[in-house]
A and B are shown apart, each in its own frame.
Chain A
Amino acid sequence: MARYAAGETAAFKRLFERYAARIHRLGQRNGLAPAAAADLVQQTFLQLHRARADFDPARRFSPYVFTIALNLIRSTHRTRGRRPEVLLAPEGMPEADQNPSPSGTERLERAETAARVRAALASLPDGQREVIELHWFQEQPFEAIADTLGASVSAVKVRAHRGYKVLRALLEPGSDGS
């Protein structure tokens, strides 16, 4: 980012290649449809371009870009006046998945599990869900998550602790997931 801010335009493409897909997944896990998640990628990088003069080379880049993306996601959900919706039953399931063959059954089970994980994540308070999204799915260190969310490292760890405990309770075999 520092190189881009200094005028090296090729550096912007490298940032895009490295982060675009991750931001796209971040958007979808936070309840955005694929088209809106693609819009999130574009808006995030447009904001990065406009904010290039604000970048501090002494700081990590990932909190910078994830903060923009999360602010846009939050703002989108706020304008809709509700929390992100979650797919409990996948749309357009292929025919093979509906057949009770062993592979079809296995795929159905995996689809159900994935849906339960998403539903469990969506049921967490925003603060815990964002920490787990960044920590588990985006593999960000706690220090970078604290930077991204504007919280202390210890506050982020507390949210992670609570979130993982709730997820475990919701997803353990035998739990009804509710």
Chain B
Amino acid sequence: MKPKASERILESEMEPCDQVRAALTDRSLPTRTDLAAHLEGCEVCRALVAATPALERGQEPPASERLTELDAAAAFGALNAALARETGLVARLRSLDTLTRRAALLGVLGALVGALYWAGFTSGALGAAPPMKALGGALLAGALLVLAAHALHPLHRPSASPARARALYLVAGALLLVAGLSISRVWSDPAASLGVNLGLVCLGFGLGVAAVTYGLFRLLDRSPASVSALPAAVMAALAGNVFLHLRCPNESASHFLFGHFGVLVSLLGAAWWWRTRFPPLSSNDARR
């Protein structure tokens, strides 16, 4: 189950640690006196040499336990069929280099946010609002752009650690809460407390803007939808909230939590459902 000789890397290109590994797999280590000094001083290689006998015993399992070989002809045929479907505008957009795709997404989102600010200030709505509102909107817009770039992270680059990604989503969620609640003056508005008042309207508008943003994102994202579901959901929810934050006159906290923050909660729920229902590889993916 080892790579063929033609797949291996030339020894002259190897560091001493890699030469030790190659000598172990070729069983030539005992004759390699040139590596003795390296073995003496390298803990990694000593651990590798010690573990090798056990690893080699598991190297060539019997037929009942052997890894199934790939039907290369069938796999290449299926791949060609998939590649044949990679035509049209969407395929061309997804094949653009990552810098261009990021610039396109950030450019469109930045223009939308800029237009909202321009409309808000020229109409006097933002000028008359508390300064915190403009500041909160700017912070949300900044987080939106960061998340848009993060969501378009290409699969050929090492992914951010799950902990770092979760921290990013938590910061975005916290920012949204702080920006919304800091301008809330009414904490117990009976008309809005059930969320029926303007809450449903804002939820609808927010989800609508988020859907358009997500659609734009999908045009440019080349990874399977379930891979980018969570970052895309948070990004789209922030886009919806920038819009709501800059236009909604309701200062009730309960309205914010239902009508604005609810956009994020709804989209995260949908993304979670999508991820678990449609994994990037076929659903029967784990050994039973």
- A164's partner among B9, B51, B158, B159 (CB-CB below 8 A) is B51
B14 to chain A, nearest CB (A): 6
- Say whether B65 faces chain A, with CB atoms less than 8 Å apart: yes
Chain A interface residue number, banded: 35 or more
- B48's partner among A33, A46, A164 (CB-CB below 8 A) is A164
A150 touches B157 (CB 8 A): yes
A97 touches B62 (CB 8 A): yes
A51 touches B9 (CB 8 A): no
- Say whether B2 faces chain A, with CB atoms less than 8 Å apart: yes
- Say whether B247 faces chain A, with CB atoms less than 8 Å apart: no
Contacts of B97 in A (CB 8 A): 53-54
Q: Could you tell me the dominant secondary structure of chain A's interface residues?
A: helix
- Given A33-B284, A110-B61, output 10 extra A-B contacts at Cβ < 8 Å: A24-B68, A24-B75, A32-B287, A35-B282, A39-B281, A51-B155, A64-B156, A78-B162, A110-B65, A160-B47
- Say whether B34 faces chain A, with CB atoms less than 8 Å apart: no
Q: What residues of chain A have their CB less than 8 Å away from a CB belonging to chain B?
A: 13, 16-18, 20-22, 24-25, 28-29, 31-43, 45-54, 64, 67-68, 71-76, 78-81, 84-87, 90-94, 97, 107, 110-111, 113-118, 135-144, 148-151, 157-158, 160-161, 164-165, 167-168, 171-172
In the complex, A48→B3 CA distance in Å? 21
In the complex, A5→B280 CA distance in Å? 25
A38 touches B71 (CB 8 A): yes
- A165's partner among B47, B58, B154, B280 (CB-CB below 8 A) is B47
